[in-house]
Amino acid sequence: MTELLHMKDNYIREFDAKVVAVGDCYVALDHTAFYPEGGGQSGDRGMISDGTTTLTIVNTKKDSGEVQHLVEAPIAISNGADVHGSLDWNWRYESMRFHTAQHVLSRYLQLNYQVITVGNMIKPDKSRADYSPLESFDDEMKRKVEAGVNEILAKNLDVSIKFMQRRDAIDYLNEKGYQTRYLEMVPKSVKEFRVIAIGNYDVASCAGTHVKNTREVGAIKIGKTKNVGAGKRRIYFSLVN
């Protein structure tokens, strides 16, 4: 199991670690600040160096608890080496801003249009989320949602991370109006949930990376939307600036 530094602190961009496994196209470390692709958020990129050789990490994935830092060139770092990792911070910080924006957008649509989020993809400049039931989304609604979400973001709400025991988290999230039926399906072996709260506006169970305050997001712009079947609509959004 790789210890995930981002779970407690989303702003770690450099760290020291030890190599614990070397595969054909990846290295695994005892702990890492690289975010492994998951929960809709894309994996981190960056560099890992042992002082002599620097590996360019093109993506990060998780394979049963082990975080794999993927490389495209042969790996000239050996198992057991002490290394220094540094994230491609532009990529990661954009992912954080997009992810917090998506939570606010999802909550806004839930509260105002009674739709739930059924999928998402957080990737700088390609972010989107799927909502259901949402058959139509005309220009007037687009403008309204954009203005409503941006008004919430402009309130400079603090984003906090809490760790809660499984039952307490489910009860708490339920009470706050969060859709908890997927959480009930999480294997019982998961005893603790990570809960992200955005001021008093939103709560969600999420392992992704977020900014500390909505002022860091700025404002969103809603792009195209399309019907993806079964009453679901995909909404693309970007960040202004």
Q: Which residues form the interface with Zn ion (CB under 5 A)?
A: 206, 208
Nearer to Zn ion, 206 or 222 (CB): 206
Nearer to Zn ion, 36 or 208 (CB): 208
Strand order in the sheet with 128-132: 116-121, 128-132, 233-240, 219-227
Dist CA 233 CA 224 (whole Å): 10
Nearer to Zn ion, 198 or 222 (CB): 198
Dist CA 196 CA 210 (whole Å): 9
3-state secondary structure of 58: coil
Least Cβ distance, residue 130 to Zn ion (angstroms): 14
Nearer to Zn ion, 34 or 98 (CB): 98
Nearer to Zn ion, 28 or 195 (CB): 195
Least Cβ distance, residue 78 to Zn ion (angstroms): 36
Least Cβ distance, residue 160 to Zn ion (angstroms): 14
Dist CA 167 CA 58 (whole Å): 37
Place of tokens 């979400």: 149
147 CB burial (10 A radius; 0-12, 13-18, 19+): exposed
Least Cβ distance, residue 41 to Zn ion (angstroms): 7
Least Cβ distance, residue 210 to Zn ion (angstroms): 8
| CB hemisphere CA count around 2 (13 angstroms) | 28
Closest CA to 220 of 92, 91, 136, 106: 106
Dist CA 34 CA 51 (whole Å): 19
Least Cβ distance, residue 38 to Zn ion (angstroms): 10
Nearer to Zn ion, 69 or 99 (CB): 99
Dist CA 36 CA 41 (whole Å): 8
